[in-house]
Amino acid sequence: MFDNLKILWHQGKQYIPDVTTATVPGIFRGRPVISGIKVEEELLAELCPTNAISTGPVRIDLGKCTFCGECAVQFPEKIAFTKDYKLSTNERARLIIKEGEDQPITMNPDLIRSEIHRLFGRSLKLREVCAGGDNSCEWELNASNNVQFDISRFGIDFVASPRHADGIVITGPITANMAEPLERCYQAVPSPKMIILAGTDAISGGIFADSPALNREFILNHTIDLYIPGNPIHPLTFINGVLGLLNRRG
């Protein structure tokens, strides 16, 4: 017992008391800021592996960005990544960062269905569907439930069966093989239900966007309730995104 107490004392408090205001240490890349300084915009756009950068003026689509950081390395005077991890929103257009803007990414309250607050505000069960993912976003979703991030404190849990769920969280670019299982899983969730896209691959296909091995009809056929950028997503991005959708973010 004494040894266990020593370990606990050594490790200190691991949990994050307030996940809405926590800061992220290390080299985390969050919301980018694009300065108004003139650069060779075509060169800048060409170096992006996922065509996330467009020009005239320069914009970065966080739904396509892999957060590789190459644009900030090659053009540090033009692009810098902040540590702002609150990247999630329910409107696809809000994921596009424009030159000269340094504003937090917010939700569009007009797009949040009334039943989401009414039915899921205090308790939300989610079923995760890995639709061809590389296990990175899946690991981070697991981490959101560990002792540090502890998403269960908000009454948000992952469940094994879609029949016990209030919505699905999709990771991965949605391969053709996963298109039908994904649709069947979604249909098994009782209504009303929500769809959350977690990670760049799920939002846009990421580096696989043009691959014939994908079938992204699901995205076209259903309304998306929440977009969570990241490659992979950070647990704080995921938790704050879901809290924002439930109107519980600080």
CB closer to ligand SF4 out of 72 and 116: 72
By the rule CB under 6 A, 134 interacts with ligand SF4: no
Dist CA 243 CA 250 (whole Å): 9
Please spell the DSSP secondary structure of 60-114, one letter per residue: EETTT-----HHHHH-TTTEEE-------BSSGGGGEEETT--------GGGS-H
By the rule CB under 6 A, 53 interacts with ligand SF4: yes
Dihedral Cα 98, 104, 110, 116, nearest 10 deg: 130
Taking CB under 6 A as the criterion, the residue among 19, 34, 58, 71 binding ligand SF4 is 71
Taking CB under 6 A as the criterion, the residue among 19, 65, 97, 151 binding ligand SF4 is 65
- Count Cα atoms within 13 angstroms, Cβ side, for 205: 18
- Per-residue contact track with ligand SF4, 209 to 228, x per CB under 6 A? --------------------
User: Minimum distance from CB of 146 to ligand SF4 (Å)?
Assistant: 27
Q: How many CB atoms lie within 10 A of CB 108?
A: 11
Residues between 29 and 48 with contacts to ligand SF4, criterion CB under 6 A: 47-48
By the rule CB under 6 A, 157 interacts with ligand SF4: no
* Residue 239 backbone phi and psi in degrees, to 5: -65, -45
Q: In 20-61, which residue ranges form alpha helices assigned H by DSSP?
A: 41-46
By the rule CB under 6 A, 69 interacts with ligand SF4: yes
Query: Which among 59-67, 111-119, 179-187, 212-220 is the span making contact with ligand SF4, rule CB under 6 A?
Result: 59-67
Taking CB under 6 A as the criterion, the residue among 41, 70, 157, 183 binding ligand SF4 is 70
CB closer to ligand SF4 out of 49 and 190: 49
Dist CA 153 CA 178 (whole Å): 32
Taking CB under 6 A as the criterion, the residue among 19, 33, 34, 52 binding ligand SF4 is 52
- Residues whose CB is less than 8 angstroms from the CB of residue 68 and which lie 6 or more positions away in sequence, other chains included: 49, 231
- Residues binding ligand SF4 (CB under 6 A): 47-50, 52-53, 60, 65-71
